[in-house]
Structure 1
Amino acid sequence: MTSRYTSPESSGSLSPRRRTVVKAAAATAVLGVPLAAALPARAAADTPAFLHGVASGDPLPDGILLWTRVTPTSDAVPGSGVGPDTRVDWVVATDKALTRVVAKGSVTATAASDHTVKADVRGLTPATDYWFGFSAGGTASPVARTRTAPAADASVAGLRFGVVTCANWEAGYFSAYRHLAARSDLDAWLHLGDYIYEYKSGEYAARGTVVRPHAPANEIITLADYRIRHGKYKTDPDLQALHLKAPVIAIWDDHEFADNAWSGGAVNHTEGAEGTWTARKAAAKQAYFEWMPVRPAIEGTTYRRLRFGKLADLSLLDLRSFRSQQVSGTSGSVDDPNRTITGRAQLDWLKAGLKASDTTWRLVGNSVMIAPFVVGSLTADLFKPLAKLLGLPQDGISVNTDQWDGYTDDRRELLAHLRDNTIRNTVFLTGDIHMSWANDVPIDAGTYPLSASAGTEFVITSITSDNLDDIVKVPQGVVSAVAAPLIEAANRHVHWVDTDRHGYGVLDITADRAQMDYYVLSDRTSPNATSSWERSYRTRSGTQQVERTYDPV
């Protein structure tokens, strides 16, 4: 049962501006200060523990979503379905010691929600750093930093977001998270999908080698499976460190479900032998919303919109829940107007939001690449591994039908909408493809650059998932040196592509430009991998084109 309640500050009632309203699954309770309140102690074996870290997400001008998972007893592990109902207290303060408390309350962790809890805290001050923590049964969680978004009408000088995608546990370590956590300048970080992977152990690793085994060992299909896999990911120290440092803004892609998922199935799902797709999709969604600090949005999906003052808004897409099945080989047509990647309602929502936006920048969190990409011009030897990486049939098809190239009618409608309504400064932020790209998004790729660009796109490479050199199994950089010039020559709107390296991005936005700094890791298989800046690209306000810059922020 959901209730709203207001928590008084320990030193007296909050002012109306700082009063906090919370949606939670339990009645309110007052959390004493310090955080580890003097609650009745249990036997050592039954002492609650916070083994999966704490996190925050979806920042609003007046609020933030807090998350944790409590292990109330030793047998109440993720996916077990056992363990007692447990009161979890939370507190938000303006200092790391949690002494200047501005909001507090309690929620109840139950086996029905895999002992995960959320508190949707409201009434906070815009553009402000806060610290928060949880406690249960005398045990305190780690203390984390979070940050609210600027007020909707605020003039904002700049924003900085970490950008990541495609973190495959068995393929390496999550050093990208560690390096982002070491920064002190992030307003938030954006995860563009494939936060987890669904494969059985050994099926998809680092050049075929398991760097570290995940759990469960089987392909995840049931609700318990998805919960266990999410729980395993949340034990990663680098991932926990980043969640401690800044709020996350996340969307899902296919591997939160199964490879190349669409509304009615997936390439990596066998109907009957692996149950029904309806049941598997429901299990995946339930576990995702239990384990992620994400507010369920329209129709229980991840498409929603956040605003950061007058500088930028961010439209977050769900490109799996509503899409038509991908065209494969010679079956069907990518130009069929009855096929969709967004679904009608989401596309109308996106178009309306982009048109109504009064911010300087319109960012789109986009899980698969929207810029056209033709690969048929590559040499035969390079085409086959590239096709394998993209999940294409290796029989001559020239486009990746899992991305917007496979749903050209939706793309034409969206780009025509940007052109016809003179909507400027639209920047697509994209994951999925395990490569780094800097693209213009042309309305007509065949005549570009003589024709117009409707926007720009920054694509981030994978944290650990195999990319092109891993499939060919040659030293890093060798394939990219050959493939990148061919890709860029065949796709004149592509300013840069790196097919081989793993890493992350940092997006820096001012009124004048949106810039992506691309960082690469020294070795995804090493827990001590170093990070180095590779390149930077920017789009200047009003240009709808990207350009290289040699000045990382």
Structure 2
Amino acid sequence: MFDRFKRRSFLQAVVAVAATTAFGCNDDETSSDAGEKYFPQSVCSGDPRPDSVVLWVRAVDPDNAGANTQVRLEVSTSESFSSLVLDQTFTAQAAFDHALKVKVTNLSARTTYYYRFSIDAGGQKHSTVTGRTRTAPAPTDTVPVKFVFASCQDYIGRYYNAWQHLLQLDEDLDFVVFLGDYIYETTGDASFQSVDGRGVIFSEPEKALRQGTGLTAFYAANSLSNYRDLYKNLRKDKVIQRVHERYPFIVTWDDHEFSDDCWGDVATYTDEKTNEKQTERRRNAEQAFFEYIPMEHGESAAGAIDINAVVSQPTRIYRDFEFGQNLKLLVTDTRTYRPDHLIPEDAYPGKVAVPAEQLALVLPTLPEPVQAQLQSDMFAYVDIDAAELRLYKDLLTGVYVQQAVAAGLTAEEAATKAATWITGGQALLYVNQVLNAVNQARVAAGEDAIPAIPVDGTPRGLAFAHMGKTGLFGIQGSRYVVVKPIFDLYAAIKYMGSAGASEGIFGNEQQAWLQESVSQATNAWKIIVSSISLTTMVFKLSDKADVPDPTLRQDFYFNVDQWDGFPTKKQEFLKSLRDSNVQNALFISGDIHASFASVESGIPALTAPAISSGSIKELAGLAVIGAGFSTGSTVYRYIVAELDKSLKEAHPGMEFVDGDAHGFVVLEVGASEAKASFHLIPSTEIAKDYSLRQPSELTEKFTRRDFVIKDGTITAA
């Protein structure tokens, strides 16, 4: 009998050997240990088309790590490699971290191919494990297409039990769509990552961005070597290696491949206390992505893909695929071209964003009760630059500088920002709250109180405070927890005033490509791949009389970094699909770490849960407690404890929601209907390594929910 330690060591050895011999034997002269030494990230494939596929390996000779490596690639229709369709040598260049991507062409449609890479070192041949891939059906084929879509695989302190379960199922898949957040750029951000268990240590930490202080300090990737470390570390995981060895991947990126909640080359770590435009960092992130992800780039020629040529061109990862008559897959990029969040993180709560003259233009189009509300005292504001209000402007400026310095700005930086924000229209809702706090201190000090500014005769407008912004710098009221009706109105006004640029999530070129591709597609299904979720997430607290604070009795968007932050563009695009009579349009997405099946303005949408990243319920709980609400409060109950129920109550088109499970979705599309299966494991299991347990233990933890998508509807199967 094994003791506990020896049994664990034995199982680890068994798992390692099993992982390296997943699909067949290598040459007799090849050692699996040596293969892992020279190919530590194993192999993978991607972007399958009827006549081509991209194959990937990282080949390095540790005894000569600075030199290029000559690599032989063999491709065959037989697992024994008895007949080769390709046998060619390529160079894995040290300049690209010895990553090699080869586009193999002249292949047969919907055919399984086996492949392996090898090098000669020390007079001996060393090979990778045998990888397996599959090409797409021919354009005329009418076969069903079956694939998995998944997202968000944080490595820090978590395990890939979802991927392991996919391997257990042994699904006959055409491919896997990965929807973004393939890596996470931070090494232990306690606000959402575990600080226990496995982690990542940068080889060059001095080149990383140090975030936080003391025990909560962590690093964020910055240099090319930092980003490469993240991919190299993650792809040493045996479970994800086996998934890549088995299925071709189609990958898009979201934010964490560069930086959390980014837009273009702009990060958001400091919530706009500082300028976070980081062009070089973005370029580093993209290069590592292009090195490690098995994808083609535009009209790539056969052979080794020149990474240098890819990174020197304008960024483009949006692309489309056809899988016979049944599927057109349109892979979008919702990070590279998007504008800043509509509400800046450093927006001053009192600043009027929609003045009276702009509000007057839209008021007649709104229902009378809404018109009356928008003309109430709650929306009164004054021009703080008026001479008679000089005392109040000085007071607001002084408070701003004090708070900004406390937040980490220098006095000079704080004064500059104060001059930018405390000017023009200022909402009395906020101004008089600040004044009230100042007066309390004055009275306590024996000084006279300063009179509040009266609302009589003042204009009405929308300020950032009306949208939920309460502090100088932060995500509340900017990227998260935003008052829905006011935000929607503000977004619509900005959209009209900017000719749509304020919500230009796709950019002009991608937008034109997407519209044309969808409208011209003749395939039975047109599936749009979006890294961010299309499903609306609203907490409808406006009718909850037991919420004690009246300012919280409103309807809130939970997250406007996703499609809810582009409400006008979203409705415009969905309307274009309906007006163009696009049949069987379907969105698939990830990002939000929750499972959704919903119909959005007539268009079905499916959102996959995270593979391993913290569930939305976990993150919402941290946020609500951090905002000062106890676990026994009504706010905690509606937003956390009853999260699924609350979201479904606020969304009549929501067929299914699970905000606390991890997993993936299997989707099969036929000529007239699609079948989706959510495979889910509780969040409590994600920090446990099931690769060292009996397979049945993991199987028992999973549940399955099945749905049928047909004629624009989603129904439980």
TM-score normalised over the length of structure 1: 0.80
Partner of 2:522 in structure 1? Answer: 358
Q: How many residues in Structure 1 have an aligned counterpart in Structure 2?
A: 481
Question: Following TM superposition, by how much is the alpha carbon of 1:464 offset from its aligned partner in structure 2, in angstroms?
Answer: 1.2
Rounded to whole Å, the distance in 2 between the matches of 1:346 and 1:66 is 26
* Aligned 1:133-532 pairs, distance under 5 A: 133-137=116-120, 138-156=125-143, 158-182=144-168, 183-203=170-190, 208-216=194-202, 218-268=219-269, 277-297=278-298, 299-328=314-343, 330=464, 333-335=490-492, 336=495, 337-339=500-502, 340-377=504-541, 398=557, 400-442=559-601, 453=602, 455-471=603-619, 472=621, 482-521=642-681, 523-528=685-690, 529-530=698-699, 531-532=701-702
Gaps of 5+ in 2: 1-24, 203-217, 299-312, 348-463, 465-477, 479-486, 623-630, 632-636, 691-697
User: Taking structure 1 as reference, are residues 499 and 275 closer, same or farther at Cα in structure 2, changes over 3 Å only?
Assistant: closer
User: Taking structure 1 as reference, are residues 515 and 104 closer, same or farther at Cα in structure 2, changes over 3 Å only?
Assistant: same
User: Taking structure 1 as reference, are residues 481 and 85 closer, same or farther at Cα in structure 2, changes over 3 Å only?
Assistant: same
Rounded to whole Å, the distance in 2 between the matches of 1:47 and 1:202 is 31
Matched residue SS, 1:300: coil
Matched residue SS, 1:55: strand
Paired-residue identity, %: 28
Rounded to whole Å, the distance in 1 between the matches of 2:35 and 2:597 is 52
Question: Following TM superposition, by how much is the alpha carbon of 1:500 offset from its aligned partner in structure 2, in angstroms?
Answer: 0.7
Matched residue SS, 1:415: helix
CA contact (8 A) 2:644 2:657 kept: yes
Rounded to whole Å, the distance in 2 between the matches of 1:114 and 1:397 is 46
CA contact (8 A) 1:55 1:68 kept: yes
Question: Following TM superposition, by how much is the alpha carbon of 1:469 offset from its aligned partner in structure 2, in angstroms?
Answer: 3.7
* Structure 2 residue corresponding to 1:64, chosen from 29, 47, 53: 53
Tell me, yes or no, if structure 1 residue 95 matches structure 2 residue 78. Answer: yes
Partner of 2:435 in structure 1? Answer: none
Rounded to whole Å, the distance in 2 between the matches of 1:123 and 1:166 is 34
Question: Following TM superposition, by how much is the alpha carbon of 1:211 offset from its aligned partner in structure 2, in angstroms?
Answer: 2.6
Question: Following TM superposition, by how much is the alpha carbon of 1:108 offset from its aligned partner in structure 2, in angstroms?
Answer: 0.6
Matched residue SS, 1:462: coil
User: Taking structure 1 as reference, are residues 490 and 52 closer, same or farther at Cα in structure 2, changes over 3 Å only?
Assistant: same
Equivalent position amino acid for 2:491 in 1: V
Rounded to whole Å, the distance in 2 between the matches of 1:487 and 1:51 is 44
Equivalent position amino acid for 2:600 in 1: V
Question: Following TM superposition, by how much is the alpha carbon of 1:53 offset from its aligned partner in structure 2, in angstroms?
Answer: 0.8
CA contact (8 A) 1:289 1:295 kept: no
Question: Following TM superposition, by how much is the alpha carbon of 1:499 offset from its aligned partner in structure 2, in angstroms?
Answer: 0.9
Task: Identify which range, 363-372 or 135-144, moves more after superposition.
Answer: 363-372
Deviation track 1:477-509 (CA, whole Å, cap 9, x = no partner) reads 998772222211111111111111111111111
Matched residue SS, 1:409: helix
Partner of 1:27 in structure 2? Answer: none
User: Taking structure 1 as reference, are residues 271 and 35 closer, same or farther at Cα in structure 2, changes over 3 Å only?
Assistant: farther
User: Taking structure 1 as reference, are residues 291 and 378 closer, same or farther at Cα in structure 2, changes over 3 Å only?
Assistant: farther
Equivalent position amino acid for 1:203 in 2: A
User: Taking structure 1 as reference, are residues 260 and 368 closer, same or farther at Cα in structure 2, changes over 3 Å only?
Assistant: same
Rounded to whole Å, the distance in 1 between the matches of 2:677 and 2:34 is 47
Gaps of 5+ in 1: 1-33, 77-82, 384-392, 443-452
Partner of 1:547 in structure 2? Answer: 715
Rounded to whole Å, the distance in 2 between the matches of 1:127 and 1:269 is 48
Question: Following TM superposition, by how much is the alpha carbon of 1:318 offset from its aligned partner in structure 2, in angstroms?
Answer: 0.5
Q: Which structure has the larger Rg over C-alpha atoms?
A: 2
Rounded to whole Å, the distance in 1 between the matches of 2:61 and 2:275 is 32
User: Taking structure 1 as reference, are residues 273 and 469 closer, same or farther at Cα in structure 2, changes over 3 Å only?
Assistant: closer
Rounded to whole Å, the distance in 1 between the matches of 2:543 and 2:38 is 55
Question: Following TM superposition, by how much is the alpha carbon of 1:532 offset from its aligned partner in structure 2, in angstroms?
Answer: 2.0
Rounded to whole Å, the distance in 2 between the matches of 1:347 and 1:500 is 33
Task: Identify which range, 287-296 or 210-219, moves more after superposition.
Answer: 210-219
